[in-house]
Amino acid sequence: MPTAKPPEGLSFDRLPTPIGEALLMWDAQGALRIFDWSDYEARVQRQLARLYGPVTPTPGRAPEAIVLALGAYFEGEVTRIDDIPCASAGTPFQRAVWAALRRIPAGTTQSYSGLAAQIGHPTAVRAVGLANGSNPIGLVVPCHRVIGADGSLTGYGGGLERKRWLLAHEGAAFKLAA
């Protein structure tokens, strides 16, 4: 069952990036609803159905402000994505996790347990991990900044190579697998 009614005017576009083509979806108000990688388009379709039910976004040109901010991010101005307006359906717990993700500054990381404590649910580490993994607005809602408690890279929906690239691009410290 969908968690919210479909947003009005849902549109999509594709954007080339240094680490692959991104798939963007936004609503009539210009709020980013989905950011994912086009090689995971089937997952995006499942996510749309889960969040909003049957919906067919129309092709379009992404809002200039979003495109400019993402371009600046990939050119090294890593804080430019902080001001991209986002909106998403999800449970209250998921939205709390996603809001906390947006507060992790570029160039830093957070552990799952630290994130759980930050939102006032210190024992909900696994639930935080699930919410992090179901984040529909990857990169802009920076789930890639969540790493293991020992500083090691953990899963990322776009693949560990992308996560490694994003964290290195932002200047964040993390451990490489042996």
pLDDT tens, 67-78?
999 999 999 999
Active site residue 86: no
Residue for token digits 């560990």?
A: 160
Confidence label for 4 from pLDDT (cuts 50, 70 and 90): confident
Q: Which residue has the higher pLDDT, 6 or 110?
A: 110
Banded pLDDT at 6 (limits 50, 70, 90): confident
- Average pLDDT value for the chain: 93
Structure token pair of residue 175: 């451990």
3-state secondary structure of 32: strand
Q: Is the predicted pLDDT of residue 176 greater than 90, yes or no?
A: no
Q: What angle do CA 104, 141, 164 make, to 5 degrees?
A: 75
- What residues does each domain of the chain span? 11-83, 92-170
Q: Which amino acid is it at 65?
A: A
Distance CA 113, CA 106 (A): 19
Res 23 pLDDT > 90? yes
Q: Which of 23, 62, 143, 167 is catalytic?
A: 143
Q: Confidence class of residue 40 from pLDDT cuts 50, 70 and 90? A: very high
pLDDT at 2: 65
Pick the CATH number of 92-170 from 1.10.287.610, 3.40.50.10310, 1.10.10.10, 3.10.310.70: 1.10.10.10
97-122: b or e for each residue (b if 16 or more CB lie within 10 Å)?
bbebbeebebeebbbbbbbbbbbeee
